Amino acid sequence: MKSNSKVLILTAKYGNGHVQVAKTLEKKCKELGYKEVIVCNLYSESFPIFSEITQYLYLKSFSIGKQFYRLFYYGVDKIYNKRMMNLYFKMGHKRLHQIVTSEQPDMIINTFPMIVVPEYRRKTGTVIPTFNVLTDFCLHRIWVHENIDKYYVATNHVKEKLLRLGINPSMIKVTGIPIRSQFQENLNVIDIHNKYHLDPTKKILLIMAGAHGVLKNVKELCQSFISKSDQIQTVIVCGNNTLLFESLQPLAEAYPQALKVLSYVERIDELYRVAACMITKPGGITLTEATALGVPVVLYKPVPGQEKENAHYFEQNNAAVVINQIEDIVKEVTTLLSDETRLQEMKANIKKIHVSYSADLILEDMVRECEYIRNKKMMIGSVNY
């Protein structure tokens, strides 16, 4: 591919992970000299109201709609080839055709499982190299289609699942999940302690509460850890959850040496670097970031679906502790933080999962694949001629 080639990256905002991966790949494309990189939230552009409603329902699945999401995630295999999936096959077809016609991209990258893209090739015969970049440590059947040219996956575990579905080994590459380049930098932890006014003599417990929440009763949880402030300093990142931030602020002001409350943090990698362990939700991007910097993770009550599958994989690899009861968190976390040997083992295990420079590996391979597909098309064309 030449530097004037066009790259189309398709994503969807069901959680932030798919969009984050799209942005990371967009940035890497531009660094490599591909000036024309189009990032498209295909469903939002095609059906804005429907997309907004389904995104809302997706977020609600983390609280009140868990059983509904469980049925969708684990039941898709049963309906995959049936009539009710036809709508999903067609969603975004018109908008995709407009983009392909007007922009004429040289390759398409999916960071969300959009069946309409390979279906577009099947129905129109238009062959544009199409690649799926999987954003979790598990495989959902909906990512798989005969007209995907290559799959880029987090681990050999995911590769094995694709192989069992009959995907050719040459069409799968283990690259890890692309994350922001700041996670590859070397930083001075003393500077980080100073920046956030943290005590270097205490174990830092990082809680990623976030906009959609990871825990209930966060305030009560903070109060429990405050009682252990001689050993632990707790840092809570609330993201864009303004209500949570404001509710915790008085507590942080009352106990400044025990609790730090932060809103959105752009350089979240800085806090990862000083954390002894982290309580978080098991999203693919957050977990990948933790693998990059070797942060042991405590995963609370994963939602059925990709969260549960991600958590199970990390627990199996002794890189995470999964807790399903809120009343067990303080005891389990305190026990973990007091066991330095176990912490170091978990740190080593989670780092083993990481693949460095994923975006570079993915795009370098995509360039080679595009060249191979282009040459193959030319050979077929010359034979037909």
Residues 30 and 44 in one domain: yes
Q: Lowest-pLDDT range, 43-52, 107-116, 136-145? A: 43-52
Q: Tell me the C-alpha distance between 48 and 353, whole Å.
A: 37
Residues 168 and 188 in one domain: no
Q: Tell me the C-alpha distance between 229 and 255, whole Å.
A: 9
Whether 376 is in a domain gets the answer yes
Mean pLDDT of the 197-226 span: 83
Residues 84 and 129 in one domain: yes
How many independent structural domains does the chain possess? 2
At 147, the pLDDT band (50, 70, 90 cuts) reads very high
Checking if the pLDDT of 43 tops 80, the result is no
Residues 133 and 79 in one domain: yes
Mean pLDDT of the 261-279 span: 95
Whether 1 is in a domain gets the answer no
Whether 112 is in a domain gets the answer yes
CATH of the domain at 36: 3.40.50.2000
Mean pLDDT of the 64-90 span: 55
Whether 24 is in a domain gets the answer yes
Look up the domain containing 298 and give its range.
184-353
Residue 385 has a pLDDT of 41
Residue 35 has a pLDDT of 78
Residues 123 and 212 in one domain: no
Whether 308 is in a domain gets the answer yes
Q: Tell me the C-alpha distance between 247 and 245, whole Å.
A: 6
Please tell me which residue, 270 or 43, carries the higher pLDDT value: 270
Residue 3 has a pLDDT of 60
Residues 170 and 315 in one domain: no
Q: Tell me the C-alpha distance between 247 and 244, whole Å.
A: 5
Q: Is 56 exposed, middle or buried (0-12, 13-18, 19+ CB in 10 A)?
A: exposed
Whether 344 is in a domain gets the answer yes
Whether 349 is in a domain gets the answer yes
Residues 224 and 348 in one domain: yes
Residues 290 and 340 in one domain: yes
Please tell me which residue, 27 or 35, carries the higher pLDDT value: 27
pLDDT in tens, 82-128: 544 555 566 778 888 999 999 999 999 999 988 888 888 988 888 89
Residues 214 and 67 in one domain: no
pLDDT in tens, 280-295: 989 999 999 999 999 9
Mean pLDDT of the 191-220 span: 85
Residues 96 and 212 in one domain: no
Checking if the pLDDT of 73 tops 70, the result is no
pLDDT in tens, 292-350: 999 999 998 888 888 899 999 999 999 999 998 888 888 999 999 999 999 999 999 99
Q: In what order do the strands lie in the sheet with 232-237?
A: 259-262, 232-237, 203-208, 277-280, 297-300, 320-323
First-last CA distance in the chain: 25
Q: What percent of the chain has pLDDT over 90?
A: 59
Residues 369 and 339 in one domain: no
Cut 0.85: pTM above it: yes
Residues 100 and 235 in one domain: no
